[in-house]
Structure 1
Amino acid sequence: MRPDNERKLAVILGLVLLAAAALCYTVLKPEVPEEPVRMLFKGSAGDVLFTHQIHTADYDLDCASCHHNLDDGDEEYNCSECHEPGASEDDDLMGRTDAMHAQCIGCHEEMGAGPVECATCHATPK
């Protein structure tokens, strides 16, 4: 085969492979998980990356373990629906920061697993 024909064949083959890859990318999308894979909680002490799968699958926790105010149905509530950002001066309802710390650190200490030091959860703020 001549060099010009080889070059044309290589370009055509490359374009076919690129088109096949683009088609596969659009057609074979992964399923969206029912629950979030990871959540990022913004905080003044640094952001906290939370992974649901570690807590539900690896530690066999159910939703009510963390979401303490589940309705009679399957509906879950976000912490921020009741707990205001930051610390709270209200004695009846903890602020979001205090509630998250009590929930997360309290469970980690009770189970003897997971981080309890600030820097192991909070990424250094930029």
Structure 2
Amino acid sequence: MTSQRDLKIAIYIMIIFLITGIICYASFTSPVPENPVRMMFQNKAGKVLFTHSVHSDDYTQDCLDCHHNIEDDETYNCSECHEETGDEDLPSRADAFHAQCKGCHEDLGAGPVECNSCHSL
């Protein structure tokens, strides 16, 4: 028969393995792909899920239609320039997305233009 002492040792070992596993899982998250298929934009109005393939394949949009800053095959994060700085010459990221995305949807007659259509999550 198993003694109480052996049972306690086994439980402590299991707890240590569980904690070690949780720490390892949290520490080694998978890297973000260089060209993500989908992107989730988090904001105050509600999350927006953007799918690259819909825009590039289905609507045959060129990268430069949205990424106006491609230099030497490098795309920069929109937030690097479009921050909430109050600079009149440079729109905030939200204003830039609304002008770019909603404007294109209106011009092409395709895609949502109502707030809840994009900010649905």
TM-score exceeds 0.5: yes
Task: Tell me the equivalent position of 1:77.
Answer: 76
Please state whether the residue corresponding to 2:50 is helix, strand or coil: strand
Tell me how far apart the structure 2 counterparts of residues 65 and 58 of structure 1 sit (CA, whole Å): 14
Tell me how far apart the structure 2 counterparts of residues 98 and 92 of structure 1 sit (CA, whole Å): 12
Q: Equivalent residues in 2 for 1:1-126 (5 A)?
A: 35-71=35-71, 73-85=72-84, 89-123=86-120
Where does the alignment leave 5 or more consecutive residues of structure 1 unmatched?
1-32
From the superposition, tell whether residues 43 and 34 of structure 1 become closer, same or farther in structure 2 (CA, over 3 Å).
closer
RMSD: 1.8
Please state whether the residue corresponding to 2:107 is helix, strand or coil: helix
Tell me how far apart the structure 1 counterparts of residues 44 and 97 of structure 2 sit (CA, whole Å): 14
Please state whether the residue corresponding to 1:65 is helix, strand or coil: helix
Identity, in percent, stands at 63
Please state whether the residue corresponding to 1:50 is helix, strand or coil: strand
Tell me how far apart the structure 1 counterparts of residues 53 and 116 of structure 2 sit (CA, whole Å): 21
Please state whether the residue corresponding to 2:79 is helix, strand or coil: helix
Residues 9-28 of structure 1: CA deviation (Å, up to 9, x unaligned): xxxxxxxxxxxxxxxxxxxx
How far apart are 1:81 and its partner, in Å?
1.1
TM-score by length of structure 1 reads 0.66
TM-score by length of structure 2 reads 0.69
Please state whether the residue corresponding to 1:92 is helix, strand or coil: coil
Where does the alignment leave 5 or more consecutive residues of structure 2 unmatched?
1-32
Tell me how far apart the structure 1 counterparts of residues 40 and 54 of structure 2 sit (CA, whole Å): 15
